[in-house]
Amino acid sequence: MGYTKRSDGRKMDEIRPMRAEVGVVPNADGSALFATGKTVAIATVYGPKELHPANKRKQDRAIIRCEYHMLPFSVSERARPGQNRRSKEIGMITENALAAVVDLKKFPQSVIDVQVLILQADAGTRCAGINAAAMALAHAGIDMKEMVASISIGKIDDKIVVDITKEEEDYEEGEGPTDIPFTLTSNGKECTHLQLDGKIQTHRFKEAIDAAVVACEKVLDVQKRALKGEVVNEGNK
């Protein structure tokens, strides 16, 4: 029969209700919350500041140092506290996605610390974390060449879907699930992060790219509104 209807009632190309706000951690240099549905991320930025030890400094630019953590009760089965292999990998992915758009040469020999904390998880956590982190960098006043927006595109059985949930990640009928997180720049000309978990034909992958471009424009609009001081909560419409 195939995958014909999403369990939460969304259209195939519809993002879950988004929430976004900056300044959620007053003691940080920059901070932001970004959420899609039940997936909620907070990011904080500290710096740029002098990097220690000195032998890790880059003479001509700053480095971004990102840590990604999930709260123990962010998922239905308690997550083990502290960093594991997955969280370190996502931290590196976030660093790379952001480093492409931050003007690092303006801060030689410095470090910009980015902390991403997942308060609640229902898939798409790395994308929510990147969205929150990009907002936090902008909120901190750090020079950025472009903004970035991130979204997860899925292929569930034979359908291309936007912003997949954990239930959809676990769908096993037909062709099964494929998860493709994208991070795109605000000018739409560069992809700073792309992963593929599963299988997808070339022509369907092109459909996924097109869906990501449209969805990231919607994410970007929410990010911009929040950076202008609006507390965005689409769930209260």
Which class does domain 18-229 fall in? alpha beta
Dump pLDDT digits (tens) for 187-196. 878 999 999 9
Instruction: Supply the mean pLDDT for the chain.
Output: 90
The pTM for the full model equals 0.93
Res 89 pLDDT > 70: yes
- The dihedral formed by the CA atoms of 128, 132, 138 and 143, expressed in degrees to the nearest 10: -60
Residue with tokens 């997942």: 118
Dump pLDDT digits (tens) for 208-236. 999 999 999 999 999 999 999 999 999 87
Dump pLDDT digits (tens) for 67-85. 999 887 776 565 566 667 8
Domain boundaries, the chain: 18-229
* 20 in Cβ contact with 34 (< 8 Å): yes
